[in-house]
């Protein structure tokens, strides 16, 4: 794998994605930024300068994802690392009260979108010379245990673990490594509600500690910096005092 890598970050317009894009750019890599909000994406790209290429992308739309990889192929000729990070959620809702529309809203981004990005990256990494690359999927603490009222999110993140394992197996012959980072309470817009309190397993509300997204970004870059014959299969990074060990 080259020292200066071509890196794709999805969900790159804010939160963990934007922080990770900054970390990759600071490490000297070229970063392709993908997200739906073109204005937010452009603002991140302006901050990062010539190392960044913003490509407005809807990860749930196969045609949009295909256009993203065509742009990467045309501009860079290869892809070395993907941080498969785009995600969505809904407020805590009991399983019987979740609408199918809300179910699809979460699953289409978190699972369908992750598959479309991974599939496109796999094809490009398999055909390029030298062959290979690394796909890092954003799992979650919820890939292990659920939060109260989180059926769509938890189901999608459990499925990400299966996707990660399948890509790892399928990619062996092509020097494609795949790992997963399971993140607990990184400070972002998605976790802002945790400061005031979120539902716990016993139905009560309680605030939860969060960690700076910069720590998550550094961990992703560390995973990506390994040679392709070495892989962090699963990493958990979390606020030390958040309810994970012993949740429920």
Active site residues: 153
Bridge partners, residue 180, by sequence: 137, 234
Tokens representing 146 are 């659920």
In the prediction, which pLDDT does 195 show? 67
**Domains in the chain: ranges and CATH:** 6-238 (3.40.50.720)
Q: What is the DSSP letter of 180?
A: E
- Closest by CA to 85, choosing from 141, 131, 135, is 135
Helices (H), 148-188: 151-170
pLDDT band for position 248 (50/70/90)?
very low
Q: What spatial distance separates the first Cα and last Cα of the chain, rounded to whole Å?
A: 43
User: What is the arithmetic mean of pLDDT over 196-205?
Assistant: 76
Bridge partners, residue 223, by sequence: none
In the prediction, which pLDDT does 200 show? 77
In the prediction, which pLDDT does 190 show? 67
- Closest by CA to 206, choosing from 237, 247, 245, is 247
Q: Is 56 helix (H, G, I), strand (E, B) or coil?
A: strand
């Amino acid at each position: 794998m080259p020292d200066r890598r071509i890196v794709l970050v999805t969900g790159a317009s804010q939160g963990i994605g934007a922080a990770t894009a900054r970390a990759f750019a600071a490490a000297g890599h070229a970063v392709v930024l993908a997200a739906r909000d073109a204005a937010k994406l452009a603002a991140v790209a302006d901050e990062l300068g010539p190392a960044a290429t913003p490509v407005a992308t809807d990860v749930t739309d196969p045609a949009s994802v295909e256009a993203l990889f065509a742009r990467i192929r045309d501009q860079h000729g290869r892809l070395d690392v993907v941080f498969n990070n785009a995600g969505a959620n809904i407020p805590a809702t009991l399983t019987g009260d979740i609408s199918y529309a809300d179910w699809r809203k979460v699953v289409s981004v978190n699972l369908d979108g992750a598959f479309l990005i991974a599939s496109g990256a796999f094809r490009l990494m398999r055909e390029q010379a030298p062959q290979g690359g690394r796909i890092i999927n954003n799992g979650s603490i919820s890939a292990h245990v659920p939060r109260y009222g989180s059926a769509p999110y938890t189901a999608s993140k459990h499925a990400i673990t299966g996707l990660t394992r399948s890509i790892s197996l399928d990619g062996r012959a092509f020097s494609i490594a795949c790992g997963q980072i399971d993140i607990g309470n990184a400070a972002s817009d998605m976790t802002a509600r945790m400061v005031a309190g979120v539902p716990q397993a016993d139905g009560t509300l309680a605030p939860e500690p969060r960690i700076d997204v910069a720590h998550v970004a550094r961990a992703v870059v560390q995973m990506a910096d390994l040679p392709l014959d070495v892989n962090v299969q699963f990493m958990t990074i979390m606020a030390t005092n958040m309810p994970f060990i012993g949740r429920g």
